[in-house]
Structure 1
């Protein structure tokens, strides 16, 4: 086994997080420039169905990192907000991003190639096509490098570094070795999609979200394409159906797991010295809100100024302090996006009657416009990173859903063609249903808030008290 040169930082994985980190660290103001190795199994263009929407908060992070140019030359379409379509009622609600902010949509692989090109041009960065097989530890169990197979070479090499950063994505090979049991992710479902050509959207430059009520739990059908064409496609907005049907009939269905992995502190005494996780290797959320790249880029933007100030990255005690401060700094944005993604999936992905009430209330809440649209989309787009604001709007939707249940016309049982407001005689049943709806909202939202903000919250009690104080202050201002 041959020995490769020694680096200051060795980054495993040249995806969004790895490339952005390499570029940003190389350009961080330091007395001594860093020597950085960026290792990637294959430098061919990736072909994935996720990572194709960047929220405005991610675009702003790219600008902050000096990487705005990576969105050029890849046919990145501007995204001005969302269109929410209620399939049952055939209604559409426009939800624009606030303040003229824009997201971008593109082919994921083209973005990655631009990011890799930017990393290659950065001072002191060496991009190497190599498959990393092992973390190398010294006698004290500190990670001091990796073993990797270089493309075209039979013998493995050992790459040494003062600090190893693992950014090898959702299927990380080293997450368990670094985090132990805390690194076990949960996969509740899978994301299935196709690439549409010449698609016509209900509202141009607005991502379309369709609320389709399921018919109950059922296994994945053997003929998945046939199932989508027969049962799903007809419920989509009429203008999108031709391109959807063409894509399903002629293209392959692409599938990705929807994984959940709360972030855990990496600077404490239980952390593995010498190595840091970043990106989906460390923290994952549901892709429903398109927040993965936005969280990763903001993580890089908040970590680099702290890590760049450490002259000796081999001083693990000093690096630990940086990781603690980074964990606190990233929490508002990351936790907001993480909680929202899973809460929305739980709200729209299940078929309980109480969740149907909440779904209806959510759509009608958006129909109110004003702050009922501006607030939620500011959270979704990572322009308002506030768990307190998210909690406020989530339970405001829950109470509004209960109000809708009492006061809005609904289909009359036995005659769905006729609508009527519930009678006073129905109030006792609706009161009981209201309790069930509110309880369901708490069950959906509460555990996510607890896990993100309490169980995996802070590396110290003092910082936890600061967070809870901030949440209380937020509630006071909002209410």
Structure 2
């Protein structure tokens, strides 16, 4: 007996950030009424420790899709920029004037997005677990998905149903069950370098209110803090793999002492009261879809296709921007009287989308991984770059405005990113030769550490270190640039 079947124009797997926004945008931007099915394995409020900070460009994309009200009524906090803390010194990095981001509980935001998707014309939001792509036995083209309805019937396994669509969109996140099946030989492999370990601090006071805070701790990964409600502050500790055997002990003794003094007690209290949670930080470069190597009839969006390090909070911004552009392009296909089952037309859209996103997505993706490598310096050369980056921010002016314009997504430019990154590298070398540094084993009459400018006798060693520093910068940036900008 065949499973019950349902026919739609578009079937979307995953009612998260990308799935909800894409469903709403496509439904509202198409002149022809579309039937869209949005499947999610659980419509209960999710509980995650990432996806809580939305950059200004993401806020603008949300507004362009008519979904800005999703940021209201969820206790969201305005975000006006960043503060970077290094060895007790702060540098203020405000967003460009007139722009602001938002931070919030991920689950509350997701529920608001789902509510908005439900009221979009022609959209059905259903609790189903997608299990398998349905393919034409003759052409291999994807024509929909099989899913299990666990609330239907008397079976504990649930009832299997078939959802057919002219186009299937997979948005099932970073742990996608369908990525390799869709991409085939062209599938890229996720790279795991670290985990974010998460806690919520109660009534904590950040150095700058309504700003994200990045604390650089020598010898360890950076710590990211931002408010997610009026009284709660998220703390994310970047921990490289392999993870320490005792995370609580590691954070207590290696991380907390490096936090600003006003954050140490709230952090210790959170460690005593809460379960420590962690989230793997992976990187997945985008691979062009709609080619001979990928399945026909199906498209990947969101983290199922492209992942960056969450340190800069750029993931939702990229997802919303992608949903905005792709829905507009597919809407044009429908509006000119074509059909989304026409894979040639959809392939042309995927090609155009791949190139239109090249301004924003690669900039945010590369910046996120590059900053993590610098801020979580794992060797002496990267540590020199970390110090140089912090001192570069301290210069102010364009040394702050340029990078934050990239970080916020307000003024994305790969050339600007390249220029600032390697300017930081050269500035780091300049600092090696000209800035006072700690003299090991020496103290003044009052017992305070002595700092001195390197002497000429140290120049040969510093020259070798400068080469190593530039080499380290190139090893961080250039492979990332290649993976994001290759054809």
Q: Normalised by the shorter chain, which TM-score bucket?
A: over 0.9
Q: What does residue 241 of structure 1 align with?
A: 264
Q: What does residue 198 of structure 2 align with?
A: 193
RMSD: 1.4
Q: 2:217 aligns with which of 212, 215, 230?
A: 212
Q: 1:350 aligns with which of 363, 373, 377?
A: 377
State the SS of the aligned residue for 2:470. helix
Alignment pair present for 1:152 and 2:151: yes
Q: Which has the higher helix share?
A: 1
- Counterpart CA distance in 1 for 2:98 and 2:248 is 38
TM-score (norm 1): 0.92
- Counterpart CA distance in 1 for 2:177 and 2:397 is 46
Name stretches of at least 5 consecutive residues in structure 2 with no aligned partner.
Answer: 153-157, 222-239, 444-448
Q: 2:450 aligns with which of 418, 422, 442?
A: 418
Q: 1:391 aligns with which of 418, 440, 464?
A: 418
State the SS of the aligned residue for 1:415. strand
**Aligned in 2, Cα 1:155/1:220: closer, same or farther, shift over 3 Å?**
closer
Contact 2:193–2:241 (CA under 8 A) maintained in structure 1: no
Q: 1:286 aligns with which of 295, 305, 309?
A: 309
Contact 2:150–2:159 (CA under 8 A) maintained in structure 1: no
Q: What does residue 476 of structure 1 align with?
A: none
Q: 1:219, CA displacement in angstroms? A: 4.7
Contact 1:213–1:351 (CA under 8 A) maintained in structure 2: no
State the SS of the aligned residue for 1:169. coil
Q: What does residue 122 of structure 2 align with?
A: 124
- Counterpart CA distance in 1 for 2:363 and 2:241 is 31
State the SS of the aligned residue for 1:200. coil
Q: 1:218, CA displacement in angstroms? A: 8.3
Q: What does residue 237 of structure 2 align with?
A: none
Q: 1:350, CA displacement in angstroms? A: 3.3
State the SS of the aligned residue for 2:167. strand
Q: What does residue 361 of structure 1 align with?
A: 388
What are the superposed Cα offsets for residues 167-193 of structure 1, whole Å, 9 maximum, x if unpaired?
000110000101125242111111111
Q: What does residue 330 of structure 2 align with?
A: 307
What are the superposed Cα offsets for residues 101-155 of structure 1, whole Å, 9 maximum, x if unpaired?
1110000000000000000001000000000000000021000011001131232
Q: What does residue 430 of structure 1 align with?
A: 462
Q: Which runs of 4+ in 1 moved over 4 A?
A: 215-219
- Counterpart CA distance in 2 for 1:202 and 1:239 is 9
Further displaced range: 215-224 or 263-272:
215-224
What are the superposed Cα offsets for residues 280-333 of structure 1, whole Å, 9 maximum, x if unpaired?
000001111111000000001111111001120010000000000000001111
Q: 1:215, CA displacement in angstroms? A: 6.8
Contact 1:175–1:183 (CA under 8 A) maintained in structure 2: no
What are the superposed Cα offsets for residues 338-394 of structure 1, whole Å, 9 maximum, x if unpaired?
111111112222321111111110000000000000100110111111111100000
- Counterpart CA distance in 2 for 1:26 and 1:215 is 46
How do 1:21-32 and structure 2 match up within 5 A? 21-30=22-31, 32=32
Contact 2:194–2:241 (CA under 8 A) maintained in structure 1: no
How do 1:90-239 and structure 2 match up within 5 A? 90-138=88-136, 139-153=138-152, 154-181=158-185, 182-214=187-219, 219-239=242-262
Query: How many residues in Structure 1 have an aligned counterpart in Structure 2?
Result: 452
- Counterpart CA distance in 1 for 2:346 and 2:453 is 62
State the SS of the aligned residue for 1:350. coil
Q: What does residue 251 of structure 1 align with?
A: 274
Name stretches of at least 5 consecutive residues in structure 1 with no aligned partner.
Answer: 458-479
Contact 1:187–1:260 (CA under 8 A) maintained in structure 2: yes
Contact 1:78–1:105 (CA under 8 A) maintained in structure 2: yes
State the SS of the aligned residue for 1:9. strand
TM-score (norm 2): 0.91
State the SS of the aligned residue for 2:288. coil
Contact 2:14–2:39 (CA under 8 A) maintained in structure 1: yes
